[in-house]
Structure 1
Amino acid sequence: MKKTTKTYNPYNGNHLETYMLDSKSRLDEKLDLADQTFKTWKNFKIEDRLILLKNLADQVFENKAELSLLMTSEMGKPITESTAEIEKCILLIDFYIKNAEQFLQDDIIETEAHESFISYDPLGCVLAIMPWNYPFWQVFRFAVPTLTAGNVALLKHASNVTGCAIAIEKLFINAGFPKGCFQTLVTDHNAIEELMENDIVKAVSLTGSEKAGRKIAELAGKNLKPSLLELGGNNACIVLKDADLNRHMDTMVKARMQNSGQSCIAAKRFIVVEDIYDEFISKFKTKVEALQYGNPTEENTTMSCLAREDLAETLEEQVQSSIDLGAKVLLGHTREGAYYQPTILTHVTKDMAVFIEETFGPVAAVIKVKSEDEAYKTASTSKFGLGTMVFTADYEAASKRISEIEDGAFFINDMVKSDPRLPFGGTKISGYGRELSKEGMLAFVNKKTVYINN
């Protein structure tokens, strides 16, 4: 009997689609096609690749409404956020249309040689293992620079967004990319080890959990293949005594509650100096209470369910274990199916799950500290390293603290977010390597030294 995978709407539990998993022979066919396509795709002129990128942007724009609804149906994202995600993918494509040729041109290096330079050659077939929380953006920020650099891609997407994965492949095909440039693998995680061992696969990119990252890093090391890991986060939001709460409170709430809190770079630990603590708590609570829960397909919905019921159960357990250690519930901590009420916890200490672990949902852990120094020290007390945000009127003083934060990002008076123009990635157990910007385009290339004497 052939194996299948099913997708469900997390908001109402309705079955969406049933998909046949690729057989072993079908996976082999896709690998072979990728290998054959790479031999011709790597020789495409950059201007020809950019024409296809423009076509891709047009395809995404023309299908924006349909793609947004598909995303909302499969993982429960409010429709306004789904639409924004699709629009961000178009901005990403446009960025690389404008900059790819410059990023990939040879770097001339003056030496004793007649001519010496660094050339950037594609590696070949790159395997991408992607998560469900941003089912289009996560894939596009990998695929667009990787393919434009001359590689081909295989996508193993999260099973609960299989429809999105198939739709993405169709976008590339309809844009005119050669068949085999971008292929979706409809398979389970059991096939990944064999894929990693195949000589056709030259590198791997994973966005996912720490557990998945450790496994992929192990397989990549075992097979001596480059890897890029973007893993979990436990970002701190430092609120100093001179922070302008009226100006920045909407940003702080969005930093935690966007995508129903299901973001690796969300503000998960709010570290608030005691001078401003009571004012922060009052205003933060008011804003969170105003979030509109409802059907994610409705335009006025700002908070919806989580992508699966088991995710809500895990979040509930993390919160309850923290309550057992002394945390106080200021708001929330009720669950119904996949819905978990936006929750604010106070009296949070460093031994609690909501401080130590990544909480993937709408839970804000608030920690009161006595001073600015204690705030920065507390923020750095984490095994994660994706990003830190600081809210203060004295941005120049905050700038002097940049080197104290080991994370991959440091944002002052704004939420940590990804931007095509800036490199994105983490440190410590949040992973390694960088996506986006020039670094993302050069993530899977051979930086080749060329030395010519006459």
Structure 2
Amino acid sequence: MNATTHALSINPVNGETVASYPYETHQQLDAALDRATRAFRTWRRQPVSQRAELLLNLASALRDQAEEMAQTIILEMGKPIAQARAEIEKCAQLSEWYAAHGPAMLAPEPTLVDNGSAQIEYRPLGPILAVMPWNFPVWQVLRGAVPTMLAGNTYVLKHAPNVMGSAYLIQQTFKKAGFAEGLFEVINVANEGVTKAIADPRIAAVTLTGSVRAGIAIGSQAGAALKKCVLELGGSDPFIVLNDADLDAAVQAALIGRFQNSGQVCAAAKRLIIEAGVVDAFTAKFLEASRALIMGDPTCAATYIGPMARFDLRDELHDQVQATLEEGAILLLGGNKVPGAGNFYAPTVLANVTDQMTSFKQELFGPVASIITARDADHAVALANDSEFGLTASIFTTDPAKARDIANQLETGGIFVNAFSVSDPRVAFGGVKKSGFGRELSHFGVREFCNAQTVWLDRK
């Protein structure tokens, strides 16, 4: 039993193996794609109102399974219990929101043709392959699956190896909600199986949430097969605080935006860019708040920071922190692996970080905050845009006009004024530059995997 033949789930609290799932054979993969294809033929013809009703069932089923799902998330990737439960509830609310608002997003759209006889109609593409990460084992899947399936597609999930227990629980939940066999399929395959699935003519399109390296690989394979793909990749999100900001509000938002999910969030406040006039005051307040965070057993309600999900990623994070310190940053808090069998990394605050340092240039996927001083608002914008990533950004200021001016200059997919970044079904989510392309959520998430088909009747 090893990682080349099995998907292994390792408990990050103690390093013990939770479960081992043998990778599927080519015959098992073939059967799964067949089921998804057969289900699509029926599902696409089902009225969207009926598909929406099933989403209401899904919301109920998620709440029924919530505690089992939350405990599985804790066991597989170490998320603190309050955050794990909130993740499931967020998925239930997502399902209800799309049940209420999604059908209107798929209604035929009249065009500007003079006689009114032409319209755009949204047709599903077919089975969609989704390669998903471990950091939000249920939300990442549902936020893509719900709008994609509402549109009439079927969904083939290849989840991260360490959270396959969560993958099978999600599949079970869809079945309990009344979704027919093949509508939501789980495949447990290694990279070779992903490549085979992308090339298979039964897969209509591909979506990935993951690293830049994974995005390059999946995007290349999808391009070679002439298939559409949506890529949501890494982020090194700027969190700009100007001299006129409400510092207490900024500190609280930065704390959540940086340390939630033990810092393992793509759209997170990774680079805290603070205007010179308030950098000392902000740093003092942020440091005090960071020291108060409780790290430990993720099953305890008071815990805010649990273990990192994978031991190799903790090693990588520590190397990045050490490199940044060697480059001249100042360590204000943490900066160490916590001794013991668990995969804990101490909440870390780095100050005097510059644009030439590792923690500025690279994405740090863990509980590490980098504080960077900006001379003024223009310098803050320049620092924010000086990144290969462009997922989200935050701006803290009490001047709405200034916030709008800065927002117009930032090269990101989302901007949050006086708030930390979130993903919400009411607004589009996605990035630019090496953070990927395509959008999830809102009406974009419903239509991303649709054929926008022109239907023009009686051209006379």
Q: State TM-score, norm by structure 2.
A: 0.97
Provide Cα deviations, 1:221-265, integer angstroms capped at 9, x if missing partner.
Answer: 100000000000000011111111123321110010000000001
For residues 328 and 406 of structure 2, the distance between their equivalents in structure 1, rounded to whole angstroms, comes to 31
For residues 22 and 394 of structure 2, the distance between their equivalents in structure 1, rounded to whole angstroms, comes to 44
Residue type of the alignment partner of 2:347: P
Residue correspondence of structure 1 range 109-188 to structure 2 within 5 A: 109-113=111-115, 115-188=117-190
1:407 to 412, 422, 429: 412
Contact 1:295 1:304 in 2 (8 A): yes
For residues 247 and 447 of structure 1, the distance between their equivalents in structure 2, rounded to whole angstroms, comes to 43
CA displacement at 1:7 relative to structure 2: 1.1
Residue type of the alignment partner of 2:210: G
Asked whether 1:301 is paired with 2:303, we answer yes
Asked whether 1:266 is paired with 2:268, we answer yes
For residues 249 and 227 of structure 2, the distance between their equivalents in structure 1, rounded to whole angstroms, comes to 47
Residue type of the alignment partner of 2:161: S
Provide Cα deviations, 1:264-314, integer angstroms capped at 9, x if missing partner.
Answer: 011011111111111111100000000001100110101111001111100
Number of the residue aligned with 1:350: 355
Residue type of the alignment partner of 2:457: I
For residues 112 and 332 of structure 1, the distance between their equivalents in structure 2, rounded to whole angstroms, comes to 66
Number of the residue aligned with 1:102: 104
Residue type of the alignment partner of 2:399: D
For residues 239 and 401 of structure 1, the distance between their equivalents in structure 2, rounded to whole angstroms, comes to 12
CA displacement at 1:46 relative to structure 2: 1.2
Number of the residue aligned with 2:376: 371
Provide Cα deviations, 1:370-400, integer angstroms capped at 9, x if missing partner.
Answer: 2111111111111100011011111221112
My pick for the range that moved more, 336-345 or 214-223, is 336-345
Provide Cα deviations, 1:151-208, integer angstroms capped at 9, x if missing partner.
Answer: 0010000000000011111111111111000011011122111111100001000000
Residue type of the alignment partner of 1:341: A
Number of the residue aligned with 1:65: 67
2:233 to 185, 207, 231: 231
Identity of aligned residues (%): 41
Number of the residue aligned with 1:448: 453
For residues 111 and 249 of structure 2, the distance between their equivalents in structure 1, rounded to whole angstroms, comes to 48
Residue type of the alignment partner of 1:315: L
Number of the residue aligned with 2:197: 195
2:20 to 18, 21, 46: 18
CA displacement at 1:80 relative to structure 2: 0.3
For residues 303 and 179 of structure 1, the distance between their equivalents in structure 2, rounded to whole angstroms, comes to 38
Instruction: Give secondary structure in 2 for the equivalent of 1:407.
Output: coil
1:421 to 403, 418, 426: 426
Residue type of the alignment partner of 2:232: E
- Closer, same or farther in 2 for the Cα pair 1:114/1:320, shift >3 Å? closer
Asked whether 1:281 is paired with 2:283, we answer yes
Contact 2:241 2:250 in 1 (8 A): no
Residue type of the alignment partner of 2:67: A
Q: Which runs of 5+ in 1 are unaligned?
A: none
2:322 to 300, 312, 320: 320
1:78 to 80, 83, 89: 80
Instruction: Give secondary structure in 1 for the equivalent of 2:353.
Output: coil
Q: Which runs of 5+ in 2 are unaligned?
A: none
Count of equivalent residues = 454
For residues 282 and 305 of structure 1, the distance between their equivalents in structure 2, rounded to whole angstroms, comes to 26
Instruction: Give secondary structure in 1 for the equivalent of 2:382.
Output: helix
Instruction: Give secondary structure in 1 for the equivalent of 2:278.
Output: helix
For residues 407 and 79 of structure 2, the distance between their equivalents in structure 1, rounded to whole angstroms, comes to 33
Instruction: Give secondary structure in 2 for the equivalent of 1:329.
Output: strand
For residues 79 and 110 of structure 2, the distance between their equivalents in structure 1, rounded to whole angstroms, comes to 46
Q: State TM-score, norm by structure 1.
A: 0.98
My pick for the range that moved more, 360-369 or 121-130, is 360-369
Instruction: Give secondary structure in 2 for the equivalent of 1:293.
Output: coil
Number of the residue aligned with 2:438: 433
For residues 110 and 391 of structure 1, the distance between their equivalents in structure 2, rounded to whole angstroms, comes to 42
Instruction: Give secondary structure in 2 for the equivalent of 1:270.
Output: strand
My pick for the range that moved more, 426-435 or 333-342, is 333-342
Asked whether 1:32 is paired with 2:34, we answer yes
- Closer, same or farther in 2 for the Cα pair 1:244/1:194, shift >3 Å? same
For residues 50 and 246 of structure 2, the distance between their equivalents in structure 1, rounded to whole angstroms, comes to 49
For residues 286 and 116 of structure 2, the distance between their equivalents in structure 1, rounded to whole angstroms, comes to 64
Residue type of the alignment partner of 2:65: N
For residues 267 and 141 of structure 1, the distance between their equivalents in structure 2, rounded to whole angstroms, comes to 21
Instruction: Give secondary structure in 2 for the equivalent of 1:201.
Output: coil
Contact 1:311 1:338 in 2 (8 A): no
Contact 1:6 1:17 in 2 (8 A): yes
CA displacement at 1:114 relative to structure 2: 5.9
For residues 113 and 446 of structure 1, the distance between their equivalents in structure 2, rounded to whole angstroms, comes to 24
For residues 114 and 244 of structure 1, the distance between their equivalents in structure 2, rounded to whole angstroms, comes to 52
My pick for the range that moved more, 372-381 or 200-209, is 372-381
CA displacement at 1:28 relative to structure 2: 0.4
Residue type of the alignment partner of 2:407: I
2:217 to 211, 215, 218: 215
For residues 248 and 390 of structure 2, the distance between their equivalents in structure 1, rounded to whole angstroms, comes to 28
Residue correspondence of structure 1 range 238-249 to structure 2 within 5 A: 238-249=240-251
Contact 1:114 1:452 in 2 (8 A): no
Instruction: Give secondary structure in 1 for the equivalent of 2:267.
Output: coil
Instruction: Give secondary structure in 1 for the equivalent of 2:8.
Output: strand
For residues 59 and 411 of structure 1, the distance between their equivalents in structure 2, rounded to whole angstroms, comes to 32
CA displacement at 1:15 relative to structure 2: 1.9
For residues 301 and 123 of structure 1, the distance between their equivalents in structure 2, rounded to whole angstroms, comes to 43
For residues 215 and 412 of structure 1, the distance between their equivalents in structure 2, rounded to whole angstroms, comes to 34
